Amino acid sequence: MTGGLSMLMVDETVVSVALVTMKRELPLSSGGQQWVVNAYVLAMATTVALGGRLGTKFGPVTTFRFGVGTFFVASAFCGLAPSGGTGQQWLIAARVAQGCGAALMMPVSASIVMAAFPPAVRGRAMGIYVGVSQLFLVLGPLLGGLLTGWVTWRAVFWINVPVGLCVLFLVRRACPADPEQPSLTVSAVHGVLLVGGVGTTVYALQQSAQWGWNSARTLLVLAVGVAATAAFTLVQVRSADPLVPLRLLRHRGFVGDVVVLLTTQFSLLPMAMFAALYTQNVLAYSPAQAGLASLALIGPLMTGAGLAGRWYDRSGVRAPVLAGLTLATAGALQWAADMPHIAFASKAPGVVLVGFGLGLVLTPVNTDALDRVPADERPQASGIVHTVRQLGGTLGVAAVGAVILGHEHAVLPGLRAQDTAEAMKVGFLVVAAVFATALVAACVLLPRRTSPTAQ
């Protein structure tokens, strides 16, 4: 399960360093570059709750295997995107298919891990599962840079084929339990409302930099998305058999975990993406050099994740999360403040603080959210967690990207590297503000004592 989730995480950021090369060869427009990242995450965000529901109905292992197959076949098609002509559309469509495959894998993998370990060591087990996968999230730019610089950008996607086959082999060897609930129903209406509401809302945010925040098109599309999302929520509340069990949001601690995940992922994904673009477009690093620069974030995150699982087993979720968010907020502020200084070393302290802080946060909140629900509800609870998590990343890329592109367009023509750096400073200040918001929410919502562990 850790290998499968790591494969999904690395694909959220592995393309960020390769985008500059892909832009030349396909070619990609500026909006197309963002959609190569956002299409994958958006597809996951809009369908992962459905993946959790299907996992409960057909069995988590069966659903996981089908998701793996879908994912690596779509990855192969990404690598086969034709140069010129329809290359951009081909690649974005294949990224959507990747996201749908990932949505089948992600929620069930967490429930399989939780079921495999007793409560006393779940924090450590989930520390490995979440920590290693989050490590691959930030390892993506390094891997992408090395493959792009030494092989081809297409290898960024083709590598998923042997990894996916290996994951399927390991699942067969592990033989985890695959309980089914065939009597469950999956409503097409609920699915359409969820996908349409979330997808339309994020599309409006994504396009706002080009259309303008005050344009009639932006406001109309955003209104349609918000209305569809509201309708979905109302239907779920009234349904006796909802696609997303919103009754779980009655638990204050679960809500706290979800809010922290939403806000941290809102910040993490655009930071990883735009930091990789900064090192190439502003610092003039090669793809391999840009990937190596990401080690400043990877090492501290791995260290923090290793500590966080044991800390959670001893004291619960509150202490490591508050410490981590404090460090992440301080690090993001320093990183943003030094963005106009065209040198990597000046940003290193902020990068290290952000990485270590996020390492302390992500394992405890993922473990605690699933620890608060009974075992038979974990696939659906995991669907909520991962929907929120992916939605946070998608909104982060869309919103922070809109801020950065908006500031760049204000100085066109004649955009210089310094102007790009100033625009990214504003975007990273938004990220710091969101980290601070997560810290306040954690102080208010997360319990002061260790939560009772669900069996």
Is residue 454 situated within a structural domain?
no
Is residue 451 situated within a structural domain?
no
Assess whether 411 and 295 both reside in one domain: yes
What is the residue range of 114's domain? Answer: 2-176+243-445
Assess whether 315 and 336 both reside in one domain: yes
The first and second tokens of residue 121, run together, are 């060591």
Q: Give per-residue burial for 212-222: e unless 16+ CB within 10 Å, then b.
A: eeeeeebeebb
Assess whether 397 and 329 both reside in one domain: yes
Tens digits of per-residue pLDDT, 97-125?
A: 999 999 899 888 888 888 888 877 877 78
Closest CA to 209 of 426, 427, 405, 425: 405
Assess whether 111 and 151 both reside in one domain: yes
Number of structural domains (the chain) is 2
Among 225, 242, 259, give the residue marking a domain's end. Answer: 242
Is residue 290 situated within a structural domain?
yes
Is residue 397 situated within a structural domain?
yes
Residue 289: Cβ-neighbour burial (10 angstroms; 0-12, 13-18, 19+): middle
Q: Which amino acid would we find at residue 64?
A: F
Is residue 452 situated within a structural domain?
no
The first and second tokens of residue 294, run together, are 């990401």
* CA atoms within 13 A of residue 96's CA, in its CB half-sphere: 10
Average pLDDT of the residues of the chain: 84
Please count the residues of the chain.
Answer: 455
User: Where residue 414 falls among pLDDT bands split at 50, 70, 90?
Assistant: low
Measured distance CA(30)–CA(9) in Å, rounded:
23
Assess whether 171 and 191 both reside in one domain: no
Assess whether 214 and 273 both reside in one domain: no
Is residue 455 situated within a structural domain?
no
Tens digits of per-residue pLDDT, 12-25?
A: 777 877 887 888 88
Among 219, 242, 265, give the residue marking a domain's end. Answer: 242
Assess whether 320 and 265 both reside in one domain: yes
User: Where residue 5 falls among pLDDT bands split at 50, 70, 90?
Assistant: confident
Assess whether 222 and 137 both reside in one domain: no
Among 204, 219, 242, give the residue marking a domain's end. Answer: 242
Name residue, tokens 């391999």: 288
Nearest-5° angle of CA 397, CA 134, CA 127? Answer: 145
Tens digits of per-residue pLDDT, 172-210?
A: 998 888 888 887 777 888 888 888 887 888 778 767 767
Assess whether 372 and 265 both reside in one domain: yes
Measured distance CA(324)–CA(92) in Å, rounded:
35
Say whether the peptide bond before residue 27 is cis (omega within 30 degrees of 0).
yes
Is residue 49 situated within a structural domain?
yes
228 touches 71 (CB < 8 A): no
φ, ψ dihedrals at 227, nearest 5°: -65, -45
User: Where residue 453 falls among pLDDT bands split at 50, 70, 90?
Assistant: very low
The first and second tokens of residue 114, run together, are 């939780």
**CATH code of the domain covering residue 326:** 1.20.1250.20
Is residue 181 situated within a structural domain?
no
Residue 455: what pLDDT?
A: 43
